[in-house]
Amino acid sequence: MRMNCWKAINLNKQYGHLRMTIFSLMLTLFTFIIIYIPAAYIFTDTMFNNKVFIIFFTLFILLYPLHKFFHFLSLLPYNDKIKKSLYLKSGFYPIITIQINEPISKWACLLALSTPSIVINSSLILLSFIFTEYAVYLIILLSYHIGLSFSDMVYIKYVMSAPKNSYIEENETGIEILVLSTD
């Protein structure tokens, strides 16, 4: 089975790392503003509880590894073909990489890209309605996670536009959309 590259996507080359970071931060801020304003009206009778800041801070730090865990969980059927690594950037910030060593179907890729957003965001929204006194913290976490998911959203946009029976291969610089060769 021979495949040809239909499109190669390298977000850092196309948009630049700084621009991607700025878009992500803007999305985080914009999301917080858009969600917090209606939440302030919905939860008017609620006194916000400031006694859980340490829990909030811990969840804030753990959100990135949790996000990566859900990527990994959705790729579990390919576990023997996944390369996992962890290193500390600047000696402090953990960077977790999950790279699959063979092409996967378009739909498996879409599932892997969207699982963290669906699971974590819906959980945070649900928790903000259950624990209204912590809603502001949960909205901050939700906004942060949406910003964290920005590159996933950009990849989803590209993968959605790929041909129906295409395959996605990940490499060090981004992803390649592959189609079966007709020769």
Per-residue model confidence (pLDDT) at position 3: 87
Closest CA to 96 of 108, 106, 105, 88: 88
Q: In angstroms, rounded to a whole number, what is the distance separating the alpha carbons of residues 10 and 26? A: 21
Nearest Cα to 64, choosing from 136, 2, 172, 144?
144
| Token reading at 139 | 């909205």
- Tell me what pLDDT residue 46 has: 67
Domain total of the chain: 1
User: What is the C-alpha end-to-end distance of the chain, expressed in Å?
Assistant: 10
pLDDT score for 183: 65
List the domain range (segments joined by +) for residue 70. 3-180
**Which pLDDT score, from 0 to 100, does residue 173 have?**
86
Whether 119 contacts 127, CB under 8 Å: no
pLDDT averages per 10-residue partition of the chain, 183 residues: 88 94 98 94 73 90 93 90 81 79 93 97 95 91 98 96 93 89 73
- Measured CA to CA, the distance from residue 70 to residue 131 in angstroms comes to 24
Measured CA to CA, the distance from residue 100 to residue 82 in angstroms comes to 4
Q: Choose among 89, 31, 36, 98: nearest CA to 67.
A: 98
pTM for the model stands at 0.89
Residue partners of 31: CB distance under 8 A and separation at least 6: 142, 143, 146, 147
